[in-house]
């Protein structure tokens, strides 16, 4: 992360080196104070989604590090991760696997429980969603405290897939979610606040 600019809220934002177009996305991420509860500032991606050029830029940038890796599936985290995940799967000519909140899938599932900043959570996937050894990328919209992304990693590994890495649109750096991701596989971020 070397290129910097200001987001809609005026906060400093960084984009990956070589991706100056990412700074075009920063003004399209707006802060919603006190949502979903007092003291929390929500990063709202809906203005980015409403701008066709910005959305295309974000998908191209999310796909960039994985284009030469022969990705078999994109696993996306419910719910906003689905928006980016389906488009990313299409860009990579890969399958799409939803990682859903507990109790939302009809078939036999595997799940992982985890802690959220607002309580407890559970991610599930169909037990047969991924073939053993398939090459997978996880995608979500925002990396905050890292609990959801870490749970997604555990779930993908439990399903027997080969995790190539993860991609997120926005990382909120001061919440230190990257530390919960751990090492060993890349974490690709478009904008870091």
Dihedral of the CA atoms 69, 88, 48, 99 (nearest 10)?
-110
Beta pairing partners, 132: none
Query: How many C-beta neighbours within 10 Å does residue 102 have?
Result: 14
Contact 137, 166 (CB under 8 A): yes
* Active site residues per annotation: 80, 117
Q: Return the closest-CA partner of residue 77 out of 33, 122, 131, 45.
A: 122
Q: Could you tell me the two tokens for 36?
A: 């979903």
How far is 137 from 76, CA to CA, in rounded Å?
8
Tokens coding 50: 């409403």
- How far, in Å, CA of 85 to CA of 151, rounded? 17
d(CA 82, CA 18): 26
Structural contact between residues 171 and 191, judged by C-beta atoms closer than 8 angstroms: yes
Omega of the bond prior to 36 within 30 degrees of 0, cis? yes
């Amino acid at each position: 992360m070397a290129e910097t600019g200001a987001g809609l809220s005026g906060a400093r934002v960084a984009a990956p080196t070589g991706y100056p177009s990412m700074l075009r996305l920063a003004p399209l991420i707006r802060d919603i104070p006190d949502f979903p509860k007092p003291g929390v500032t929500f990063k709202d991606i809906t203005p980015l989604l409403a701008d066709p050029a910005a959305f295309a830029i974000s998908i191209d940038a999310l796909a960039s590090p994985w284009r030469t890796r022969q990705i078999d599936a994109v696993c996306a985290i419910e719910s906003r991760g689905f928006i980016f995940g389906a488009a990313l799967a299409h860009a990579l000519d890969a399958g799409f696997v939803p990682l859903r909140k507990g109790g939302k899938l009809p078939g036999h599932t595997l799940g992982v429980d985890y802690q959220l900043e607002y309580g407890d959570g559970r991610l599930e996937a169909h037990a047969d969603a991924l073939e053993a050894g398939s090459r997978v990328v996880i995608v979500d919209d925002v990396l905050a405290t890292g609990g959801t992304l870490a749970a997604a990693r555990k779930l993908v590994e439990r399903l027997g897939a080969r995790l190539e890495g993860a991609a997120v649109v926005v990382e909120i750096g001061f919440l230190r979610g990257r530390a919960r991701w751990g090492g060993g596989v890349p974490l690709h971020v478009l904008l870091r606040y």
